[in-house]
Structure formats: structure tokens, C-alpha cells
Amino acid sequence: MKTLIVVIHPNFGTSLVNKSWVEALQNQSDRYDIHQLHQVYADGKIDVVAEQQMMEKYDKIVFQFPFYWFNCPPFFKQWLDEVLTYGWAYGKKSGYKLEGKKIALAISAGIDEQEYGVTGKYKYSMEQLTSPFEITFDYVKANYQKPFVFYGIEKESSKEWIAQSVSQYLSFLEQL
Ligand SMILES: Cc1cc2nc3c(=O)[nH]c(=O)nc-3n(C[C@H](O)[C@H](O)[C@H](O)COP(=O)(O)O)c2cc1C
């Protein structure tokens, strides 16, 4: 069973990290299917039924995006609001269609890891900042996993650093 990687990047053309992750995953198309939301829905209109049908086919789903303003890019929030419908994802008569599926976030962050967390400049840890996703996926009974985060791309964006992010991401996915 392949893992579905849902990519949400509003400026994929200028991406360094997420683009290199996608390229690495494309080389392993026997293991990963990539679904680029901004490419599929360039007009911003999500086909909810098509998305739900796609999600039902996978046991492992990863949402990959760059961290923007301590959050996800807005198209992912739109996706959550529209695709996780009452009756499909949750609710009394729901099939809880994401129930038991392993779901994780894969995030690239500009800021260093030390600057996140209680003792850091930005006060909150990535675990705290991503808690709305954790609660959302708990709510729909999915099996939410700890996120993969690659930090510090603003300070260090060498080829070597990006290559490190690729291998760390691939081993995260293999262990998912
Ligand atoms: C609008 C915007 C907001 C950003 N906000 C954050 C932020 O809150 N925290 C952070 O660590 N990096 C932030 N960054 C840096 C991005 O996370 C970083 O450039 C991105 O992860 C690099 O991935 P890419 O090469 O695939 O674009 C921001 C970048 C942009 C353009």
C-alpha cells in the first residue's frame, strides 16, 4: 500500500525544500503518490468528493507544506474545512472515513529549532503550534503521528543542508 503525500505550497516554483522532497518522492513512485493541491486546483475550487474518494484509498497520508506565519498555508485550512464534512469525516451517522488511518504533517520551517519552545524566541514548540491539526485528526478518529519538521532553512540553504532534509524525510516516511 502506497503512502499519499498531499503537497500544499502556494509558491512551488520558488521552493527549494519542498521541491527537493517532491523530486525525491517522485523517484520512488512505487511507494509514494503525490497530490499537489495547488496544481490540481489552480482555481482554488476543491472537488470535495474526489478528495474524499482519494483519501479513502490510502492507509497513510502525509500533508507536506512550508510553515507560514506559524501555521499552514491557507489552502490546507480550506481543504480541511471543505473535505472533512459531517457525515463523511465525523458525526453521528458518519462513516468516520479517516478512522485509524496514519496521518502526519511534514513541515519545512525557516526558523531554527532552538528558537521554538518555551526557552526560545518564539515561545511555543512546533508540537504546540501544530496542536490544532492533532486535535482535528483526533476528532475524526485518525491515527495522528508526530510531525516531521525540518528547521532552519532561512539560515542555511546549501545543497548539503537540503540533501540532509531529503534523507531525513525519507527515513521518517519509511518508519511511518
Ligand atoms: C509568508 C511566509 C511566512 C513564513 N513564516 C514562517 C514562520 O512562521 N516560521 C518559520 O519557521 N518560517 C516561516 N517562513 C519561512 C518558510 O517556512 C520557508 O521559507 C520554507 O519552509 C522553505 O521551504 P521551500 O523552499 O519549500 O519554500 C515563512 C515564509 C513565508 C514566505
pLDDT tens for each residue of 26-79: 999 999 999 999 999 999 999 999 999 999 999 999 999 999 999 999 999 999
Q: Which residues line ligand 1 (CB under 6 A)?
A: 9, 15-18, 66-70, 108-111, 153-154
Please tell me the predicted confidence (pLDDT) of residue 94.
Answer: 78
Q: How sure is the predictor about 93, in pLDDT bands with cuts at 50, 70 and 90?
A: confident
Burial of 154 (0-12, 13-18, 19+ CB in 10 A): exposed
H-state helical runs in 84-158: 126-129, 131-139
Q: How sure is the predictor about 156, in pLDDT bands with cuts at 50, 70 and 90?
A: confident
Per-residue pLDDT reduced to its tens digit, 124-137: 999 999 999 999 99
Please tell me the predicted confidence (pLDDT) of residue 95.
Answer: 82
Own/partner long-range contacts of 89-94 (Cβ < 8 Å, ≥24 apart): 89/140, 90/139, 90/140, 90/141
* Whether pLDDT at 157 is above 90: no
Would you give the DSSP letter of residue 124?
S
Q: At residue 2, what is the residue type?
A: K
Å from CA of 66 to ligand 1 middle: 6
Name the pTM for this structure: 0.98
Q: How far apart are alpha carbons 115 and 64 in whole angstroms?
A: 22
Å from CA of 90 to ligand 1 middle: 32
What rounded mean pLDDT belongs to the chain?
Answer: 97
Å from CA of 80 to ligand 1 middle: 21
Name the CATH superfamily, with its identifier, for domain 3-174. Flavodoxin domain (3.40.50.360)
Please tell me the predicted confidence (pLDDT) of residue 13.
Answer: 96
| Among protein residues, the one whose CA lies closest to atom 27 of ligand 1 | 15
Q: Where are the domains of the chain?
A: 3-174
| Among protein residues, the one whose CA lies closest to atom 6 of ligand 1 | 68
Per-residue pLDDT reduced to its tens digit, 74-88: 999 999 999 999 999
